[in-house]
Amino acid sequence: MNEADFRKALEDHALWFAGCGGSRLDLQGEELLGFDFFSVNLARARLLRCDFRGSRFDGADFREADISGSRFQTCSMLRVNMCRVIARGARFNDATLLGSEASEADFRGASFSRAGISACGFSGADFSGACFAYAKMRQSDCSGCCFEGAFFNGADIREVNWGGVRGLLDPSDFMRNNFKVQPGEDGGYIAYKVFDLYHTPPEHWCRNPGAVLSEVPDYTRVTACGSGVNVGTWDWVVYHTDRPYLWRCLIRWEDLPSVVVPIGTDGKIRCGRVTLLGMVQVVHGEPE
């Protein structure tokens, strides 16, 4: 479909939407690259697996449209109305969304990698399984959204309203459910560590029982691997190394404020300070 045919289809869709005849816009697999669709009415349209890469949709109306599987990479989408849009698996990588409204939208499995998202309203939207890797998602309203299984590695999420969100990993729950406790006033959570797994540790770290390892951690929870004393659950460390011995560590109660649990962690956390307790053999399993 060329641009002229698409614009004719848009005119028919506008008539249909207004109840004055015409026909609903219903496209699948069409390629419309780099076109200017400023302020077009796509409300309740059906645009499945279409390719709009590099197009301009500033001021467009996508209300209740189904754009699942479509590609909007590098598109300009300023002040777009996407309320209750269905965009499952759609790709908005490197797109610009500024001042857009997408409350109660369905973005399950969508990708926003490296997208520039600012001052947008997403209240009540479903982002389950969505990817925000290295996106800039600033000053947006995400209240009441679902982020179950969403991926945020490297994302900039400053000044976002997270009120009432669901699906984001709770650090307290994760620590309580995945790390054993050493009771007592001098106790804390038990974690495990190996050295030289991904990075060379600081020279001042002493590898002896009773030694205290310290380093200022990267407190950004969207960073999966950052500075700090990186430790993990027994299962995580055993899975990522074939070494016969692991270091058993203690994160003391007073050191818990320095613990960072990444949003998408699979078992690794980082801390400002941990105490080495001793080495344990993997073959014997996690000590009680």
Residues 209 and 153 in one domain: no
Residues 145 and 235 in one domain: no
Amino acid 132 reads F
Residues 221-245, buried b or exposed e (16+ Cβ, 10 A)? bbbbeeebbbbbbbebbbeeeeeee
Task: Name the pLDDT band for 44 (thresholds 50, 70, 90).
Answer: very high
Is 229:274 a contact under the CB 8 Å cutoff?
yes
Is 286:234 a contact under the CB 8 Å cutoff?
yes
Residues 152 and 245 in one domain: no
3-state secondary structure of 12: helix
Residues 87 and 207 in one domain: no
Average pLDDT, whole number, for the chain?
94
Residues 147 and 19 in one domain: yes
Q: Quick one: pLDDT at residue 80? A: 98
Residues 142 and 10 in one domain: yes
15-40: average pLDDT? 94
Report pLDDT digits (tens) over 216-255: 999 988 888 889 999 999 999 999 988 899 999 999 999 9
Residues 216 and 160 in one domain: no
Q: Quick one: pLDDT at residue 287? A: 81
Last residue in a domain, options 144, 168, 192: 168
3-state secondary structure of 131: strand
Residues 88 and 156 in one domain: yes
3-state secondary structure of 213: strand
3-state secondary structure of 284: helix
Residues 23 and 162 in one domain: yes
128-147: average pLDDT? 95
- Number of domains observed in the structure of the chain: 2
Name the pTM for this structure.
0.83
Report pLDDT digits (tens) over 169-227: 899 999 999 999 999 888 999 999 999 887 888 888 999 999 999 999 999 888 888 89
Query: What is the residue range of 212's domain?
Result: 171-284
Two structure tokens written together for 171:
């650090």
Q: Quick one: pLDDT at residue 48? A: 98
Q: Quick one: pLDDT at residue 201? A: 86
Task: Name the pLDDT band for 285 (thresholds 50, 70, 90).
Answer: confident
